[in-house]
Chain A
Amino acid sequence: MTSFGGFDMPVEYCGIIDEHIAVRTAAGLFDVSHMGEIEIRGREALTLVQYITSNDVGRLAVGQAQYSALLRPDGTFVDDLVVHKISDIHYLLCVNAANREKDFEWIRSHNRFDATVENTSDTYTQLALQGPRAAAILRQLTPLDLTALRTYRFAFDKVCGVHSLIARTGYTGEDGFELYFDPAESEKIWDALLEAGKAHGLLPAGLGARKTLRLEACYALYGHEIDETTTVWEAKLDWICKPDKGDFVGREALRAQKQKGIERILVGFEMRDRGIARDGYPVLQGGAECGHVTSGSYAPWLKKNIGFAYVPLRASAPGTRLYVRIRASELAAEVVPTPFYKRPK
């Protein structure tokens, strides 16, 4: 068990590699109750959510979810999050565990609208059922027509008789679902999903596999690829930033940075020499340090040593040779196109 944002959570159950492979080939079940939930309600709920997030919430239909970010006035990240539009006057924000309190205070401090902000993190258990067999497993426990629930859509229905928010979202690069429901029902639903998944090869999966899966699929992790020193342009998250939607916190700084041009950018790399680049290791080009690794690991599905790093623009093109300082050695790596992994259609 490891302590993460105040939660005791298993890093692994039967082993990170087996859990990772299960998610790519069958399914994995993650307890992600550490994630925070913040709910915004009221006549001007949309106005508040638009003002504090970078993506365009105005384009969401009821029952649709959207990846987005909370930004500081200088354009750097307070957090990344998923916005769920429950109704025209009710939004649910799923935020990172370690940032729950910070985000809540941040949103409240920017609320000059006719809206209420509530930290409802303790009223939800969140389970993530991920993998190509996820739908076949969940179908046994819910009356909801899952074939009609498209990616980044959600609906309310029963799971094992328990009222739940069922979202077709995830953090693994596979098809899958994230379920939000009353914590009192946690064990019942966890056990029922494991039982329903037995015949499909479902394994319980921990934080370790969650990290390696998201790395292969190229999802940013707060505190690594994004934090209070990086911006959407640098993190290649342009697609969640819509400066034309209207005013939002961070917009002017981001417009200015776009005009001026960025100096560094996030790239994916593969090790060419034998060695595993880890978080924080220095990245070199031409003998000089030019950046650092934000996340690095052995990738269990790709069977390669991969990572992300911030590097100067001149060193960011795929094919560029970089070196990573690993203990006493400088080992060769190469910038590669991302994502490292994309699931087969």
Chain B
Amino acid sequence: MYPDEYRYTREHEWIKLESQRATVGITHYAQEQLGDIVFVELPKVGAHFAAMEAFGTVESVKAVSEIYCPVSGTIEEVNASLSDNPALLNQDPHGKAWLIKIRVDDPAELASLMTAEQYEAFIRSSEQAES
């Protein structure tokens, strides 16, 4: 379910690093919790965000959720297809429905994020805490 080559945040974003560039999205768990996603607000290309700074918003019918930049970096590209088809985030959150591509300030920052295995344990424990 959760690709091994990605890293994950406690706020349910994923990040995939390829040399200095990274792709960022929200996780399957996040889209499942949100339910039907109907609106996505993304930043402008060129904007810079610090690690865990909010860079956009995802809204489902029932909830508004901020999305956080897993590491600091500069926006190079946003996924424009989401503004007309936000439901793609429910269908393919780890693939076609990526949110942003960034130039990463310091790839070493990724070391503080969770691996797929750690993230799966993290969502299991938050689910247990809920029930």
Contact = CB atoms under 8 A, between A and B. Distances in A.
Interface in B56-78: 57, 59-62, 64
Nearest to B36: A17
Given A16-B36, A276-B39, A300 B64 contact: no
Contacts, number: 36
Interface in A1-29: 11-12, 15-17
Interface in B28-79: 35-36, 38-39, 41, 57, 59-62, 64
Contact of B61 (A16, A274, A275, A327): A16
Interface string A274-300: 111010000000000000000001101
A96 interface: no
Interface of A: 11-12, 15-17, 208, 212, 274-276, 278, 297-298, 300, 305, 327
Q: How large is the interface on B (under 10, 10 to 19, 20 to 34, 35 or more residues)?
A: 10 to 19
Q: Is the interface of B mostly helix, strand, loop or mixed?
A: strand
A274 B41 CA distance: 9
B36 A15 contact: yes
B64 A15 contact: no
A274 B57 contact: no
A175 B61 CA distance: 24
A278 B61 contact: no
A12 B60 CA distance: 12
Nearest to B59: A276
A31 B72 CA distance: 47
10 contacts: A12-B62, A15-B35, A16-B61, A208-B61, A274-B39, A275-B41, A276-B39, A276-B59, A298-B59, A300-B36
B64 A298 contact: no
Given A212-B61, A274-B83, A278-B64, A298 B35 contact: no
Nearest to A207: B62
A226 B76 CA distance: 47
Contacts of A212: 61
Contact of A298 (B41, B57, B61): B61
Given A11-B35, A12-B35, A274-B39, 12 more contacts: A12-B62, A15-B35, A15-B36, A16-B35, A16-B60, A17-B36, A208-B61, A274-B83, A278-B64, A298-B39, A300-B36, A327-B57
A276 B37 CA distance: 12
Nearest to B83: A274
B89 to A, nearest CB: 13
B61 A300 contact: yes
